[in-house]
Amino acid sequence: MATTVYNTKNITLQDGVEIELSPLKIKYLRKLMDDFEEVKNAQGDVEAIAALSKCARICMKQFRPEITESQEMLEEYVTLQDVYDILDVTAGIKINEKSEEPVKKQAVDSGSSWEELDLAKLESEVFLLGIWKDYDELERSLSMPELMVTLSISRELNYDEKKFLAAMQGVDLDKNAGKSNAWEEMKARVFSKGKAENARDIVALQGINAQKAGFGIGMGLEYEKVD
């Protein structure tokens, strides 16, 4: 069965050009995280929407940089719904126009998952794989889902090697498998965009986690948040 690391979405801009959206490379995600402070500090939804549009402009630098020279130029090419779709797919910031919940609250609540991550620590670990010449190249190459999957596989391979060497000495490392695994808990929060309380929470079974488990949200199983 084919698997995917993340979901993509095609949208058509106002000039008729179709683009495929995917998660932001870390280089752009860092910039978005800085500008996202304006969303958190916005006084009401009008300011929040204006700040979110600025965040969408950063996202579009990855896909159509020629229309991001100014905020006014970008707004000639995108609708408000486009802005929401762009932020959803590229950064996991979910806004439901039909929701009675304020736009600012929806944005801030869904954006908290990546804000809590120690990016420098995660990047340092994956940088040791020796694939990238510097951190700038790494951040231009990987999105957060790609970084998390790369780290996950790297750690699994390292553990398998240690388990094999330990077994040669008569030691069973899997005896401690029942203990809480901080790495799995963090992955659950990332893949569920902050909704999962732990790795066993059903909302953690999305994307690559769902595919590894053989089912889950995004593979025929959906859920609806009921207030």
Binning pLDDT at 50, 70 and 90, where does residue 214 land?
Answer: very low
Three-state DSSP class for residue 217: strand
Burial class (CB in 10 A: 0-12, 13-18, 19+), 144: buried
Query: What mean pLDDT comes out for the span 102-119?
Result: 81
Query: What mean pLDDT comes out for the span 18-39?
Result: 93
pLDDT tens-place string over residues 52-101 = 999 999 999 999 999 999 999 999 999 999 999 999 999 999 999 888 89
Alpha-carbon distances of 26 from 59, 109, 188, rounded to whole Å: 11, 20, 19
Tell me, what's the pLDDT at 176?
A: 56
In angstroms, rounded to a whole number, what is the distance separating the alpha carbons of residues 52 and 189? 23
Tell me, what's the pLDDT at 206?
A: 56
Q: Which of 46-60, 90-104, 123-137, 206-220 has the lowest mean pLDDT?
A: 206-220
Three-state DSSP class for residue 143: strand
Is the pLDDT reported for residue 109 higher than 90? no
In angstroms, rounded to a whole number, what is the distance separating the alpha carbons of residues 139 and 30? 9
Please answer whether residues 13 and 77 qualify as being in contact, where contact means their C-beta atoms are separated by less than 8 angstroms.
yes
Is the pLDDT reported for residue 215 higher than 50? no
Tell me, what's the pLDDT at 221?
A: 43
Tell me, what's the pLDDT at 222?
A: 47
pLDDT tens-place string over residues 129-153 = 889 999 999 999 999 889 988 888 8
Binning pLDDT at 50, 70 and 90, where does residue 6 land?
Answer: confident
For the chain, what is the mean pLDDT?
80
Residue with token string 């995108």: 78
Please state the domain extents for the chain: 9-113, 119-213
**Residue, of 117 and 31, whose pLDDT is higher:** 31
